[in-house]
A and B are shown apart, each in its own frame.
Chain A
């Protein structure tokens, strides 16, 4: 009997594994994450959503395996091999300290257990100043072997400019040791020795664990073509990710902002702010032209990596954040969080401290009749009790929400106004469990044009996995005059990117986009610019500089620092689904809710009951299993053709 073959996006989060299955209508489920081996939860989620894991022909995966390994520092015993004279490159880093005044804050230790240095030297133009002798190669291999490593990173000074020494060492080490070896000229041929070495060590340190995990996943789903989400906003094949696990450090969040970009575009907004508020933290990201902004530098646990990553800014505040009064008498929210255990007081799982979620419970924003996971019910009395522990006059539930909103507004300004982008032109795309509860108040505070809540805000990252293209970015630091003919450089990178995608998906015909990191000669800060079709990179850079920084210096020489070609091929899903399987809608109802201006009677509607073209007028709550949208008096939400709830805030 023919079984329907399906494609699925599976995003593993801290608490839940989210699955979106593309059947006749897309269907979403949440199952508990299985720490230790995420693939168990992945399998369970597929069984629950698709009936059987065996029917899955295509799987796009968001994983936290590498991320958690770094954050928990549960990594392979890693040796860094680098040029003599630079043994402490990981310790000195960029010589700055993380906190100007707070003595308790230390720089994080890097992940390499040992460093072995090599007598050799490559010049900035790639020639050898000091050749690498065979004797030295043998000595280095023995020294590394004596460290009994589980993984090795080779990152030599100017290795990006001339890779001969790195290649010889890597070959010799692989032949002798039988452990994964990360070579900087292969992983990230880009200048700045600390950031490159850091990226390589991060990669090597998580490589054995990632390879093991992906092997187990592949065994569990032998018939499925599996791709994994990378931090840069695309997917990649299993072999690529097994060799380059550093590419997955922002896997889940990147999928969310990719989807947020497409959601904004579907609602008619090219530019937007992605706002993903979860239990313990909130991710925000600027979307330009339907795509998330790419960062110039990303960090995990304080350690930088230079591989492409979406420019997500994270703040340590979410639904579980705890409210408290500080020594100066101000009401603060976070950074301490009740987390999943003991959880907010209203979950009745042992939490006693007042959290943001408790404030919502007290104000009637949450549905007491809807079962929480595990058959628990919302305990409003417990939430009231928790808030009552704040000193008299310290603020009530509405005050807690006002404070968390101030924190969120500052985070959103960081990625918009502080980059010269006026929020007045942007839509706020709200998702994650708690995002839509705060969205309209925040958007009004920032002066955003609109709020857009996608049809399934609780599983947007899983949907983003399906929407993300297969993507590879080939890059090399070249240091050329931007007015030079770049044909040779870009052709070589295009061939490299195409070959890599063909390796991951044979027969693929990718689109190619050349990109250049440029700066005015003498500057130290590059700007990422798309190389225009007419090839006039200098003019494109002046224009981009003007947009980003408010002026251009047209008389100055422009340097091309790093050249890139981005190759992309079709995602598993080429457009947002128009309708979702959302189950039975409950009848409309009414509930008294509180807020900044006191209690009001609010309409409560199920999201499943809303059809395109319908409107909901605030005060109102739109409820769905994993999220609630709050509309205040005077706000009107319209369901658009893509199924988004859109709230226009001006005009």
Chain B
């Protein structure tokens, strides 16, 4: 395929994924998908190789292919054109339970398989022990909600609603689930139609060639970028703040145009929801790899061929049943990024930034009366890069969801935002300073509410690089109505009353380079 054809098919295939993503957001019901864009869409060839992806959030980067692989493995030839498979089981192609993935096989007029389209959306509630399906005290996955292994939910005769109704009935907000699932079907419908259009325009042979060529193209771009990383073996480790610390250890081997990321030395899984399934770990590795090689290469299978990720089953980065995993997605993924970047920093001292806040600061407030459930992740400081200061008050790493404006939040919930400002002085000093964290203080204006926090980097702040200072660790504070303030743990559940406030002070980013005057 020549240089012109390559660019034309790249646009066309990326366009299919983009249109699916747009349809998903357009048709979805809940703010989590529509506004926060916690969703992704992708196109696959008949072998299940990902050829295009519209990812709105990095944690879905490497985990979509796992979903399609699980669907193929579960159904083989029965995954025929027109069949669609739903799944969320983290142990069979999923990530954590709120992420529901819908895989559709797309056929040609003669019944032959053209490929697959798939999309994933984070549903606000899939049952389990707490609203939002991320209970901080879960000790096994059954406490986190309904578990859906790959199941057929549509075939040539149309959508089969039985399984969908089980999913809806398991949720605290069944109508919302139906609306969002309908959006997922709409997205696959758009993707399938567009893929068939390309087949009509190009012919089956050229479509297959295009799918292969865009992957090879991405691979060439990424290999060219890896080639300039100095060969060597680079290691780093860090801990999750559970008990005495749960270690995540990585060894990177850079050899020519290829990289092996070995995380087999990480700690055994824990009886807390911080375990990451392998797909989440792979996504984290893909994120770092993409950031440091060719950020603009089309996100497809070819990009990641030069990267091998090794994990050991039963560890915190490769959980096995029945470990709970809800926060593996939102917290452990961030720490894996930190560890891999720390290892890359030795190889690429002029490229790698200091550590960013390394947590998503999950804040949940809810009550039975009046019934409400508010979930938010809070921005922090970005690590300084060799070229500039870190950004302040921004999402980093594996997430990029937007905040809820105070003026929207107070209209929707019995809550009042007292403060949403930068946390001055929290960024690590350096020749480039780390970004500042955030102070978000929310007051309860109803009689009683339950507070859940899932946070990290409360003990040691995000590390600086090249002589830059660490960013300040975060703090969680509950201020009682009378004014008494108590610092509370990084993770846990508390009961708040009218006038009580929770103040989350998020970590600053690490500094880069020795600060002036030191």
Chain A contact residues, CB within 8 Å of chain B: 85-89, 91-97, 99-104, 106-107, 124, 157-158, 160, 191-195, 325-332, 393-395, 399-400, 402-403, 406-407, 409-410, 413-414, 417-420, 479, 520, 522-525, 548-551, 553, 555-556
Contacts and interface: CB of A to CB of B under 8 A. Distances in A.
Of B175, B396, B420, the most chain A CB neighbours within 10 A belong to: B420
6 contacts: A91-B422, A92-B421, A104-B387, A329-B220, A331-B3, A418-B26
A97 B295 contact: no
A88 B220 contact: no
A330 B175 CA distance: 46
B18 interface: yes
A20 B410 CA distance: 51
Nearest to B11: A406
Nearest to A419: B26
B353 interface: yes
Given A92-B421, A418-B22, 4 more contacts: A102-B295, A403-B7, A406-B8, A522-B31
Q: How large is the interface on B (under 10, 10 to 19, 20 to 34, 35 or more residues)?
A: 35 or more
A94 B10 CA distance: 31
A69 B340 CA distance: 43
Interface stretch (B115-123, B272-280, B401-409): B401-409
A231 B61 CA distance: 37
Interface stretch (B231-239, B286-294, B460-468): B286-294
A106 B11 contact: no
Given A85-B419, A410-B11, A103 B385 contact: yes
Interface in B484-510: none
B454 to A, nearest CB: 17
Interface string B10-30: 111011001100110011011
Contacts of B190: 417
A410 B421 CA distance: 39
A400 B2 CA distance: 12
Interface in B196-240: 217-218, 220-221, 224-225
B182 interface: yes
A101 B10 CA distance: 19
A96 B402 contact: yes
A525 B31 contact: yes
Contacts of B387: 103-104
A88 B217 contact: no
B305 interface: no
A101 B400 contact: no
B34 interface: yes
Contacts of A331: 3-4, 6-7
Contacts of B108: none
Contacts of B71: none
Nearest to A420: B26
B177 interface: no
A402 B3 CA distance: 11
B94 interface: no
A94 B403 CA distance: 5
Interface string B370-403: 0000000011001001011001111110001111
B420 A395 contact: no
Interface string B350-374: 0001000000000000000000000
Contacts of A523: 29-31, 34
4 pairs of A and B residues whose beta carbons are closest in the complex:
A399-B4, A524-B31, A101-B295, A95-B379
A327 B26 contact: no
Contacts of A157: 406-407
Contact of A193 (B58, B407, B438): B407
B403 A95 contact: yes
Contacts of B182: 551
A550 to B, nearest CB: 6
Contacts of B401: 96
